[in-house]
Amino acid sequence: MENTQLKNAQDLWQPLSKAERDADKIVRPSMTYWQDVWRRLKGNKVAMGSLIFLVFLILVAIFVPMFWPYSYSDQNLMNANQSPTAEHIFGTDKHGRDLFIRVIYGARISLTVGIAASIINLVVGVVYGGISGYVGGRTDNLMMRIVDILYTIPLTLYVILLMVWLGAGMKSILIAIGTTYWISMARIVRGQILSLKEQEYVMAARTLGASDSRILFKHLVPNAMGPIIVTMTMSIPSAIFTEAFLSFIGLGVSAPKASWGVLANDALGSFMLYPHHLFFPALALSLTMLAFNFLGDGLRDALDPKMRK
Amino acid sequence: MGRYVLKRIGSMVITLFVITTFTFIMMHLVPGGPFTSEKKLPPEIERALAEKYNLNDPISTQYFDYLKGVAQGDLGPSFKYKGRDVSGMIADYFPVSAQLGGIAIAVILLIGVPIGVISALKQGTWLDSFVMLFAILGVTIPSFVLAALMIYVFGVKLKVLPTSRWASPKHMVMPVFALAAYSVAFIARLTRSSMLEVIQQDYIRTARAKGLSEGVVVFKHALKNALIPIVTYIGPMAAGILTGSFVIEKIFAIPGMGRMFVESISNRDYTVIMGVTIFYAAILVVMVFIVDLVYGVIDPRIKIDED
Amino acid sequence: MSSENLLDVKNLKTSFFTHVGEVKAIRGVDFHLKKGEAIGIVGESGSGKSVTSLSVMKLLLNPGKIIDGQILFNGEDLATKTDKEMQSIRGNEISMIFQDPMTSLNPVYTIGDQIMEAIIKHQKVSKEEARKKAVEMLRLVGIPSPEKRIKQYPHEFSGGMRQRAMIAMALSCEPQLLIADEPTTALDVTIQAQILELMKDLKDRLNTSIILITHDLGVVVDVCSRIIVMYGGLIMEEGSSEEIFYNPKHPYTLGLLKSIPKITEKSDKQRLIPIDGTPPDLLKPPKGCPFAPRCDFAMRICMEQSPEYTQMSPTHRSMCHLLHPDAPSVPEINGNMNKEGQA
C-alpha cells in the first residue's frame, strides 16, 4: 500500500511526453469549405424552411398539372366567380376557370421568368464583371463608367422601354429583364475578382504556366462564388416582381397564359366582390418572394467565413 | 468645390444626352408607326399626319430637331391627344405625383430611420423581432398587393378611408403608405444593421472610455456614422418611389404623372413615353447629384475639392 | 499596504456567458499598482490581459461580466459601481488608449472636438477654455502646429500622430491612471520607440500611473518597473523588470524571452525559438496548469493540479510546480534554488 502511494507521488513528478500533453487538445474536425457552408445553412431553420417550400413549389408546378382534372384555359361560365369549394380549391375566376390550376400555371411562368432571367443576368454579369475586373486598367475604367451611367436610371424604366419596343410576351420579358439587371451582378463579380487577383494562388498558378483565361475561370471565379450565389438568389424575387409589375401596367405575358402578376392585375377590377381572385395569386407571389429572400439571407450568413465558430 | 459642381453638371448633361438618344432610338425602332394601333386610316389622312409630325424627314433630322427641342424644354406634341403637347401634360400631372412622392419620402425618412435606430438599440428584444418581422413583410410583399389589401380592409370592410382620387389628406393615407412601405422597411433594416455595425466599432469603445454618457455615445458618435450608408440609399429609394407611383396611381385612380405614363404606354403614345422618360431621368440624375453633395458634407473622408 | 496603492485588484474573475457556454477569461487575478508607478501586463492573445483592463474600466460588453473579486481604486471598489458612477471616473481619473488609433478615433468629428468633449464633460469649463487646453495637450504630446491640427480629422493625421492625439485625449483631464492596451502594436518600429518615450516622459511629468498591456516583452522593458506575465486567464509570474528579464522563474516567461529577436554578434547563428502550440480553450478551462500542454518541462502533476504561487522575493512570485521542493531539478527554472524555494 505504502509503496504504491510513494510510487504515485513520484509518478506525479515524472516529465510528460509530447503525446501525453497533446491528449487534452480539442481538435476541430476539418471540413471543406462547402461542407461548412451547408452545415451552417442547415442550422438556419428559416432558410431551410424556405428552401423546402421552394423545392415543394417547383415540384408542384411541374407535376400537378399533369394529373389535375382542369386545365388553365377550360372555361365554364356557369361556374364563374365561385368561392373556394372542394372541387375548385381556390374557386373560379370570372370565366369559370379553375383558379387553383391557374395559380399553379402562374407558378410555372413566374418561376421560369425568375430563374431564367436570373441565369441570363448571371452569365452576362459574370462575363462583363469578370473581364472588367481581370483585365483592369483602362478597359476596366471604361467598362465601369458605362455601368455607372446606366446605373443612374432605374432599371425598371429601361425594362419598360424595352418591353414597348419588343412587344408583350414571355420572350420579350426574359430579354428585357436579362439585359438590365446584370449590372449589379457585374459590379459584384468585378469587386470579387479585384480582391482575388491579389491573392497568392494566382501567382502560384501563373508560375506553373497557366494561361490567363485558365486563371480566370478555374481559380478566381469559383472563389468569388459566394457573393455571386447570394446575389443570384436575391435577384430571382426581383425578376418575379418585375414581371408582376410589368403585367400590372399591361406589359406582361398574353392571355390565356397567366403569371401571378397577370392574375393579380385581372383580379383588380372585381376583387372587392370576389377577394379570392386576388388573394390566392397574391399569397403565392408574396410567399415565394419571402422564401427566396429568407433563403438568400441564410445563404449570405452561411457563406460568410468570419462566422466560423 | 466649384470645380466639382461644374464637373458633375457636365456629366449629368452627358448622361441625359445618352438617355435621350437611347430613348429616341428605342421608340423609332418599334415596328409600325405611331398610328398603327388605331383603326386603319385613309391614306390621305395618314400622309397629312406624317407631314404634320415630320415623320417623313430623315431620321437624323428628326433626331437633331428633337434634341434641340429637349434642350429648350419642348418635348414635342402628344400623338394621342391632339392639340396637347408633352411638356404641358407633364406640367399638369406632375404636381400631384410630386406631392405623393414627397410625402412618401418624408414618411420613409422620418419613420423608417428612427425605427431602425430603436430596433438596433433594443437588439434581441421582442420589439426588435417584431419590427424586423414587419420589415421583412414590407420588403417582400409587392406594393400592389399591399394596396389591394388595404383597400379591402380599410375601404370596403371598415369603410374608414377613401379608395380613390386625391382630394383630401384622408385620400393620401393609403396611397402614401402603399408606396412607401417597401422603402420604409428597407431603410429600417438598413439603419438597424448600419447602427449595429457602427456600435461595434473601436471609436465607440473610445467614446465610452472617455466617460461620455450612453446617450452622447449613441446619438453623437454612432448615429452620424450610421447615417452614411443611408444617404447612399436615397438615390435608389427615389427611383423606387418613382416607379412605384405607376402602379399606385393606377390602383387608386390618382391623376398623376405615373398614371399618365402607364396610359401612354398602352396608347403607344411615343412622344409622351419619350418625354416622360427623359423627364424622370432628369429628376433622378439631379437627385443623385444632391445625394452626393450631402454625402460629402456628412463624411469628411470624401474629398469634394480637387486640388 | 493597500492604503498607499492607487489600484488594488483582488481575486478578479471575469467570464463571458456566450450561447456555447461560459468562457472563463479571467480566473482569479491579484495585482496592485502604486501612484506614479508603471507596470506591464504581458501575454498572448487570449491570455486575459485586455479583459483585465476592460474589467477595471467596467467597459465589458455583453456577454462579459465580472463574477467575483474587488477592484479597489483609491480605496473604492469599482466592481460595485453603477455605469453612471463609472462615467465620471472614465476619462477623468482613469483613462484608456487602444491599439489601433485609426479605428479608435471617430472619423466624422475633428480631433479637437473629440479631445474637447471629455474636458467639457469632466471639468465643466467653457468651450473656449476646453479648446485652449486641447491645443496645450497636443503641444505636450509633440504635435506641431496644434492650432491648425485641432480642426483636422483623424484621416489627415499619420499613424504615429494619431496615437499621440489619443494620448493627448486620454491625458487631457489629468487622470491618475492611464491604461494603454497594445498602444504600439499597430505602429512602425521607429514610431513605437517614440510613443513609448513619450509615455515615459508624460508619466514623469504628470505623475500618472501607467498599466502597459502588450504581447511583446521588449516593449515593457524601458517603461515599466514591474512586469506581470499572464496566461490562460491567470498570472503566471510577477516581478520587477530585472527579476523577470534576468531571473525568470516560469517556463512561459522563459519561452517569451527566448522568442524575442536579439541583435548580437552571433545573430546569423541564432534561431528564434517560438513556443509551440495554441492557447487553452477557456470554455473548459484545464484543471491543471494552463501552460502545461505547451511546456517543455511539464510533469504529470502539472496536468492534474493547478500550482500555488511561490514567492521568491517580496516583489517576485511565480506559479509553477517546478518551484516545489519535491520537484526534480531543472536548471533554467529552479537551478539556483535551495530546498526552501529561495533563489
Better-scored residue on pLDDT, A185 or B26: A185
SS3 state at A298:
helix
pLDDT tens across B54-63, in order? 666 677 777 7
Provide, as residue numbers in chain A, all residues whose Cβ is less than 8 Å from the Cβ of B18.
149
**Percent of chain A residues topping a pLDDT of 70:** 76
What is the model's pTM? 0.80
Q: Is residue A6 included in any domain, yes or no?
A: no
Cβ pairs A/B, distance under 8 A: 100
Q: Name the phi and psi angles at B73, rounded to 5.
A: 90, 5
Model confidence at B151: pLDDT above 90: no
Domain that holds residue A295: 50-69+92-307
User: Per the CB < 8 Å rule, is B211 touching C155?
Assistant: no
Q: Is residue A154 included in any domain, yes or no?
A: yes
Structural domains in chain C plus CATH codes: 34-60+83-213 (3.40.50.300), 229-334 (no CATH)
What mean pLDDT is predicted for residues A106-120?
87
State the residue for C-alpha cell 491625458. Answer: C171
State the residue for C-alpha cell 429609394. Answer: B237
Most confident of B270-279, C156-165, C292-301: C156-165
Model confidence at C226: pLDDT above 70: yes
Q: Is residue A171 included in any domain, yes or no?
A: yes
**CA nearest B30 in A: which residue?**
A165
Q: Is residue A163 included in any domain, yes or no?
A: yes
| Pairing mode of beta strands C234-240, C64-73 | unpaired
The total of structural domains in chain A comes to: 1
Provide, as residue numbers in chain A, all residues whose Cβ is less than 8 Å from the Cβ of B262.
249-250
H or E stretch covering A88: none
Q: Is residue A17 included in any domain, yes or no?
A: no
What pLDDT was estimated at residue A219?
Answer: 54
Q: Cα(C99)–Cα(C110) distance, rounded to whole angstroms?
A: 20
**CA nearest A24 in C: which residue?**
C293
Model confidence at A30: pLDDT above 70: no
Model confidence at A71: pLDDT above 90: no
Query: What percent helix, strand, coil does chain C show, rounded to 5?
Result: 40, 25, 40
- Subunits in contact with chain B (3 or more CB pairs closer than 8 Å): A, C
What pLDDT was estimated at residue C341?
Answer: 46
CA geometry: angle at C171 spanning C167 and C175, to 5°? 140
Interface-testing mutation among A7, A11, A12, with chain C (most C C-beta atoms within 10 A): A12
pLDDT category of residue A206 using cuts at 50, 70 and 90 = low
What mean pLDDT is predicted for residues A82-92?
75
pLDDT tens across C80-96, in order? 988 889 999 998 899 99
Q: Name the phi and psi angles at C65, rounded to 5.
A: -150, 145
Q: Is residue A169 included in any domain, yes or no?
A: yes
If we measure between CA atoms, which residue out of A299, A148, A276 comes closest to residue A230?
A299
Most confident of B3-17, B253-267, C109-123: C109-123
User: Per the CB < 8 Å rule, is C117 touching B203?
Assistant: no
CATH of the domain at A300: 1.10.3720.10
Provide, as residue numbers in chain A, all residues whose Cβ is less than 8 Å from the Cβ of B280.
153-154, 157
Query: What percent helix, strand, coil does chain A show, rounded to 5?
Result: 75, 0, 25
SS3 state at B85:
strand
Model confidence at B307: pLDDT above 50: no
Dihedral angle of Cα A54, A57, A63, A65, to the nearest 10 degrees: -150
Q: Which residues contact C250 (CB under 8 A, 6 or more apart)?
A: C229, C236, C237, C318, C319, C320, C333
Q: Cα(A201)–Cα(A195) distance, rounded to whole angstroms?
A: 12
Nearest to B221 among C86, C98, C106 (CB): C106
Q: Is residue A40 included in any domain, yes or no?
A: no
What pLDDT was estimated at residue A231?
Answer: 82
Q: Which residues contact A83 (CB under 8 A, 6 or more apart)?
A: A91, A274, A276
pLDDT tens across B86-130, in order? 888 888 888 889 999 999 999 999 999 999 999 998 888 888 888
Cβ pairs A/C, distance under 8 A: 39
Note which residues in 108-147 of chain C have CB less than 8 A from chain B.
108-109, 117-118, 121-122
What mean pLDDT is predicted for residues B15-42?
70
What mean pLDDT is predicted for residues C167-172?
92
Q: Which residues contact C223 (CB under 8 A, 6 or more apart)?
A: C38, C40, C196, C199, C200, C203, C210, C212
Provide, as residue numbers in chain C, all residues whose Cβ is less than 8 Å from the Cβ of A11.
300
A17: cell is: 511526453
Least reliable range by pLDDT among A127-141, B216-230, C132-146: A127-141
What mean pLDDT is predicted for residues B166-182?
85
Provide, as residue numbers in chain B, all residues whose Cβ is less than 8 Å from the Cβ of C59.
205, 208-209
Provide, as residue numbers in chain B, all residues whose Cβ is less than 8 Å from the Cβ of C93.
none
Q: Is residue A82 included in any domain, yes or no?
A: no
Q: Cα(B2)–Cα(B6) distance, rounded to whole angstroms?
A: 6
Report whether C150 contacts C131 (CB < 8 A).
yes
Nearest to A24 among C286, C326, C328 (CB): C286
Report whether C41 contacts C211 (CB < 8 A).
yes
Q: Which residues of C166-196 are buried (b: 16+ CB within 10 A; e: fewer)?
A: bbbbbbbbebbbbbbbbbbebbeeebbebbb
Q: Cα(C169)–Cα(C140) distance, rounded to whole angstroms?
A: 11
What mean pLDDT is predicted for residues A188-211?
68
What mean pLDDT is predicted for residues A240-255?
79
Q: Which residues contact B122 (CB under 8 A, 6 or more apart)?
A: B128
What mean pLDDT is predicted for residues A110-138?
85
If we measure between CA atoms, which residue out of A223, A228, A226 comes closest to residue A197?
A223
Nearest to A249 among B137, B151, B262 (CB): B262
pLDDT, averaged across chain C = 86
User: Per the CB < 8 Å rule, is B207 touching C88?
Assistant: no
The ipTM is: 0.84
**CA nearest C157 in B: which residue?**
B301
Better-scored residue on pLDDT, B178 or C333: B178
What mean pLDDT is predicted for residues A72-96?
74
Half-sphere exposure at residue B279, Cβ-oriented, CA atoms within 13 angstroms: 25
User: Per the CB < 8 Å rule, is A12 touching C299?
Assistant: yes
What pLDDT was estimated at residue C166?
Answer: 92
Q: Does C106 touch chain B (CB under 8 A)?
A: yes
Q: Which residues contact C278 (CB under 8 A, 6 or more apart)?
A: none
Distance from CA of B227 to the nearest CA of C (A): 11
Model confidence at A95: pLDDT above 90: no
What pLDDT was estimated at residue A211?
Answer: 59
What pLDDT was estimated at residue B32?
Answer: 59
Model confidence at A262: pLDDT above 80: yes
Nearest to A21 among C20, C298, C304 (CB): C298
Q: How far is CA A174 from CA A118, A131, A242, in A?
A: 9, 24, 11
What pLDDT was estimated at residue B306?
Answer: 39
Better-scored residue on pLDDT, C8 or A25: C8
Q: Cα(C28)–Cα(C42) distance, rounded to whole angstroms?
A: 16
pLDDT tens across C239-279, in order? 999 888 888 889 899 888 887 766 655 555 556 677 777 77
* Cis omega (within 30 of 0) for bond into A69: no
pLDDT category of residue C227 using cuts at 50, 70 and 90 = very high
* Cis omega (within 30 of 0) for bond into C63: yes
Model confidence at C216: pLDDT above 80: yes
**CA nearest B285 in A: which residue?**
A152
What pLDDT was estimated at residue A67?
Answer: 82
**CA nearest A297 in B: which residue?**
B136
User: Per the CB < 8 Å rule, is A14 touching C299?
Assistant: yes
State the residue for C-alpha cell 430611420. Answer: B113
Report whether C51 contacts C14 (CB < 8 A).
yes
Better-scored residue on pLDDT, C282 or C89: C89
Least reliable range by pLDDT among B33-47, C119-133, C290-304: B33-47
User: Per the CB < 8 Å rule, is C328 touching A24?
Assistant: no
Model confidence at B227: pLDDT above 50: yes
- Subunits in contact with chain C (3 or more CB pairs closer than 8 Å): A, B
Nearest to C117 among B212, B299, B300 (CB): B212
A54: cell is: 421552394
